[in-house]
Each structure stands twice: as structure tokens, then as C-alpha cells.
């Protein structure tokens, strides 16, 4: 499929279907973007497992950091790639190998060859987006800071959207 734009339904179905996210490139510095994303997704009810070879074995926001995706003992639904486009290639191959269902590359990260391999293996792919921003956008939070969500709804939204764990 094309990866220039995504429908709201494509992204919300992905976010609704995911319970466990491996975050590759997780920083232990509390003021880095990947830390923001991990902390936010946890607050919304996702389990986020950090991956960073430089911090392997440390604890980060209550989770053990792993060096590689292949080291994670639990099933992973989605791999969030906080690495550059080149590094996203081997990370995608690892995501396929551990039978993740979704590969999500962060804003500024796009690797069409890797995306094609993932889709060939039956994974869904999102590129050049941030799951935190998309979750905030689809749940009416992003407008709180004046950002245009492009969402129009006639439904009362939950006061604090938190993912229901199945």
C-alpha cells in the first residue's frame, strides 16, 4: 500500500489492536522524545518494552531494557522504530522474525524497501508518524494545545482516554 497518507481508520484499528509495543531506540534520558513517547503510551494502558543495546539490563519506567528485539521473552504486537531510516531496515527484519504484527517508524523515518518486506510477511506498516501524536489526535487530546486534529466527531469522548486492556 502507499505510505504517503493513512486513513484515520487504518491508524485507529492498529492502535486499538495493540497491547505490547517494543520501542527500539528508547532513551534513558527523561527529556528525550523517545522517553516522552514511552511514558505517554504507558499512561494510555499500553505495555512498552524498551530496546537499546547501550542500556541493556537497566530498568526504564518500570520495564527492563533489552539489547535486541530477539531478546524479549514476551510476545510483541508492534515495534516502534526510533532509529534512522537506514537502521530501520534491520529492525524491520527483526520485527518480522519475532512475529510482530505491526512495524511503526517514527516521524522522519521512512524505509520503503523494509516496508515492502514487512508487508510481504503479512505485517502492517506505518511510516513517518508518531504513535503518541496519532493517539492524541484520534482521541481529541491534540487540540488541547491548538493543534489541528482533522477529526470531526458528534460523539462525547472519554474525559481521559485510556486503552481498555483485553
Partner 1 sequence: MTEPTTEQRTFGFETRAVHAGAAPDPATGARATPIYQTTSYVFDDVEDAASLFNLQKMGFIYSRLTNPTVSVLEERIASLEGGRGATATSSGHAAQMLTFFALMSPGEEFLSSRKLYGGSLNQFANSFPRAFGWKAIFVDGEDADSYRRALTPKTKAIFIESLANPGGVVSDIAAIAEVAREANIPLIVDNTMATPYLCRPIEHGATLVVHSTTKFLSGHGNSVGGAVVDSGKFDWTKAGKYPALTEPEPGYHGLRFHETFGDLAFTIHGHAIGLRDLGPNQQPMNAFLTITGIETLALRMERHCANAMKVAEFLQNHPAVAWVNYAGLPTSPYYELARKYMPKGAGSVFTFGLKGGFDAGVAMVEGVELFSHLANIGDTRSLIIHPASTTHRQLSEEGLRAAGATADVVRLSIGIESAEDIIADLDQALKKAASVTPR
- Residues lying near partner 1 in the complex (CB under 8 A) are found at 1, 5-10, 30-31, 33, 35-36, 39-40, 43, 107-108, 119, 122, 124, 130, 133, 136, 140-150, 152-159
Asked if 118 and 103 touch (Cβ cutoff 8 Å), the reply is yes
| Min separation Cβ 109 and partner 1, Å | 12
Pick 73 or 145: Cβ nearer partner 1: 145
> Which of 72, 102 has the CB closer to partner 1?
102
- Closer residue to partner 1 in complex, CB, 54/122: 122
Residue identified by cell 531478546 is 71
Q: For residues 135 and 44, is the Cβ–Cβ distance under 8 A?
A: yes
Torsion of CA 49, 34, 106, 131, to 10 degrees: 70
Least separation in angstroms between CB 67 and partner 1:
25
Nearer to partner 1, 70 or 113 (CB): 113
Distances (CA, A) of 122 to 48, 98, 115, 116: 22, 13, 11, 10
Amino acid at each position: 500500500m502507499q505510505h504517503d497518507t493513512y486513513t484515520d481508520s487504518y491508524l485507529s484499528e492498529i492502535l486499538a489492536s495493540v497491547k505490547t509495543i517494543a520501542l527500539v531506540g528508547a532513551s534513558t534520558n527523561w527529556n528525550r522524545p523517545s522517553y516522552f513517547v514511552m511514558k505517554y503510551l504507558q499512561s494510555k494502558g499500553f505495555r512498552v518494552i524498551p530496546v537499546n543495546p547501550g542500556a541493556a539490563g537497566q530498568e526504564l519506567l518500570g520495564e527492563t531494557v533489552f539489547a535486541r528485539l530477539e531478546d524479549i521473552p514476551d510476545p510483541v504486537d508492534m515495534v516502534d522504530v526510533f532509529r534512522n531510516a537506514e537502521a530501520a531496515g534491520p529492525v524491520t527484519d527483526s520485527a518480522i522474525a519475532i512475529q510482530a504484527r505491526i512495524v511503526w517508524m517514527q516521524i522522519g523515518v521512512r524505509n520503503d524497501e523494509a516496508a515492502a518486506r514487512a508487508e510481504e510477511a503479512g505485517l502492517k506498516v506505518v511510516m513517518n508518524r508518531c504513535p503518541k501524536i496519532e493517539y492524541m489526535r484520534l482521541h481529541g487530546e491534540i487540540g488541547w494545545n491548538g493543534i489541528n486534529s482533522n477529526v470531526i466527531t458528534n460523539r462525547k469522548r472519554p474525559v481521559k482516554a485510556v486503552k481498555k486492556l483485553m
